Amino acid sequence: MPIQQIMLGISPGGSSYWINSLGANGTLDRWYDCVVDSGDNILVAGNTTSGTTGYGALAAKFDTDGAIQWQRSLDGSNNQQFFACCLGGTTTGGSSEKLYEFGSAGYGGNGGLAANYNNAAGTKDNDLRLVDSLTTSWGSGGATSFAPASSGVNPNIYTRIILVGHVAYGSGAYRGFIHMINPSYQTVATTAFQHPSSSGTSVEFKDAKVDTSNVSDANGTGAKVIVCGHRGGGVSSGNTNLWLGSFTTGGGTGMQSLTLNWQKEIVYTPSTNTAAYMDVDGSGNIYVAGFTYNTGTNPAIYKLNSSGVMQWQKINTSSSWSYAYAIAVDSSGNVYSAGQYSNNAWLVKMDSSGSTVWQREIDGVSGGQEIVIKGMKIDSNGDLIISGWTVVTDTGGQKNTFLMKYPSDGSITGTFGGVWEISNLSGSFSNANTSVATSNLSQSSPTISNTNFNALTDAATSYSPSLISLS
């Protein structure tokens, strides 16, 4: 697989900006999620069809300038895909942290796939697992981690990894689940939610974050887990509603349990309202990106306080705007989100009040070439890290991975390397008209097993990056 990397510029402070596209022509290669370590290195989760039978799960690490550090894939007799990733397991951060990647595996029946990599070397730490929730299928979801400030313990026993998704339940339906583990994959707490009366109605959890605004000690006691998703047969409307849940994690020192604090639904009365991604700020405010559907699909962005009370809500009903897939909030309360604009991608910055600061379109120079953004993080300099996939750089009619580092002030526009185009974008976000209602999902306690799973081949692949500097 070649890597094509294009430099977008260098900031006065020395940060470089770039787009990096990895993949072989004619193969399907995608990044879903990304995470940034304490050295501003970028780690990603995805899948590939290059050299695999079906899908192969794909993991990689890039430095802050976009140069690849290592890449590995998992290949078996069927489909393996990574959808989410997070860092955890130590007190020191940086290269000593472990990279945890989560997804699904088709080997021997569908289940959850969990893998553990060494951040510095990219070696698999013999912690490949097939995780099952008493079902034959496990849908994609999100993952997050929290490593409190406890010192002198390595790995940090108070680190928690929270994984969310959905599993088969009843006839043709799903129930959403939350699984909290320690860095050794030992279960700390597990819970699931389903429709209270209909086994044929689905509940799907998409993302989770840890609210640290009430942490009371160096072990993380007082942290909350916030989860977003959507459910069918919603309260008030009977349609699919966006779902949010808040969980306290008491039961002793650190995060030891998951106790429901509240569950809410954001109701869009005409039709569907779904969640895709979320973030939480230092005050416990909750930010959710998703989309509504009535006569068309429209991106929606919400801010709620820690009690689930709506602070502001924005929607864009302009032509060609659809889907919000990613969101991140910085230390000043500015909100960044990304999604689909026709076949291209949109990127927007809002201030803490929900007013638009700038918005951009990302496209190939030929126009109308698919770019899908699925993940977003903010590094220590406040720059945006964005992951997804694109057809722009694949001449074989398939998709390559897409990874981008972009300044938070939106200052870079233009044509780059004869390949990419970033421009201002018309169409504005306005106040939405949804309501918040108390949800009525039923809670259960499924048993999730963590089984060693060595039937997949873990392999390293080397790349020769191609760098075009536009500074």
Task: Round the average pLDDT of the chain to a whole number and report it.
Answer: 84
Summarize pLDDT for 109-157 with one digit per residue, the tens. Answer: 466 777 777 777 666 655 555 554 434 456 667 889 988 877 555 667 7
Q: Tokens at residue 242, please?
A: 């966006």
Judge whether residue 381 has pLDDT over 90: yes
Q: Tokens at residue 303, please?
A: 């801010």
Cα separation, 408 vs 347, in Å, equals: 11
* Distance (Å) of CA 282 to CA 33, 72, 214, 329: 22, 34, 10, 10
Q: What is the pLDDT of residue 399?
A: 87
Q: What is the pLDDT of residue 258?
A: 95
Q: What does DSSP say about strands 272-280 and 286-293: parallel, antiparallel, or unpaired? A: antiparallel
Q: What is the pLDDT of residue 451?
A: 65
Mean pLDDT (whole number) for 8-25: 76
Q: What does DSSP say about strands 3-10 and 465-468: parallel, antiparallel, or unpaired? A: parallel
In DSSP terms, 174 is beta-bridged to 168
Q: Give the position of tokens 């000690």.
A: 217
Identity at 379, one-letter amino acid code? D
What is the SS3 assignment for 155? coil
Mean pLDDT (whole number) for 383-399: 86
The mean-pLDDT minimum among 47-51, 208-212, 349-353, 360-364 falls in 47-51
For residue 5, name the pLDDT band (cuts at 50, 70, 90): low
The mean-pLDDT minimum among 125-134, 155-164, 272-281, 444-453 falls in 125-134
Judge whether residue 6 has pLDDT over 50: yes
CA nearest neighbour of 97 among 156, 46, 144, 139: 156
Q: Tokens at residue 156, please?
A: 């940090």
Q: Which one is predicted more confidently, 48 or 450?
A: 48
Cα separation, 267 vs 361, in Å, equals: 29
Mean pLDDT (whole number) for 357-364: 94
Q: What is the pLDDT of residue 452?
A: 60
Regarding pTM above 0.85, the answer is yes
Q: What is the pLDDT of residue 128?
A: 56
Summarize pLDDT for 282-302 with one digit per residue, the tens. Answer: 999 999 999 998 888 999 999
Q: What is the pLDDT of residue 466?
A: 45
Mean pLDDT (whole number) for 445-459: 67
For residue 23, name the pLDDT band (cuts at 50, 70, 90): confident
Cα separation, 19 vs 420, in Å, equals: 9
Mean pLDDT (whole number) for 11-28: 78
Q: Which one is predicted more confidently, 120 or 90?
A: 120
For residue 88, name the pLDDT band (cuts at 50, 70, 90): confident
* Distance (Å) of CA 263 to CA 139, 169, 291, 400: 21, 20, 20, 38
Summarize pLDDT for 191-248 with one digit per residue, the tens. Answer: 999 998 876 788 999 999 999 999 999 889 999 999 999 999 999 888 999 999 999 9
Mean pLDDT (whole number) for 57-71: 89
The radius of gyration of the chain from alpha carbons, rounded to an integer in Å, stands at 21
Judge whether residue 51 has pLDDT over 90: no
CA nearest neighbour of 114 among 76, 75, 139, 81: 81
Cα separation, 326 vs 337, in Å, equals: 5
Q: What is the pLDDT of residue 214?
A: 93
Q: Tokens at residue 145, please?
A: 């981690």
Judge whether residue 108 has pLDDT over 50: no
Q: Which one is predicted more confidently, 175 or 2?
A: 175
Judge whether residue 59 has pLDDT over 80: yes
Q: Which one is predicted more confidently, 436 or 181?
A: 436
Judge whether residue 467 has pLDDT over 50: no
Judge whether residue 418 has pLDDT over 70: yes
Judge whether residue 92 has pLDDT over 80: no
The mean-pLDDT minimum among 82-91, 190-199, 295-304, 426-435 falls in 82-91
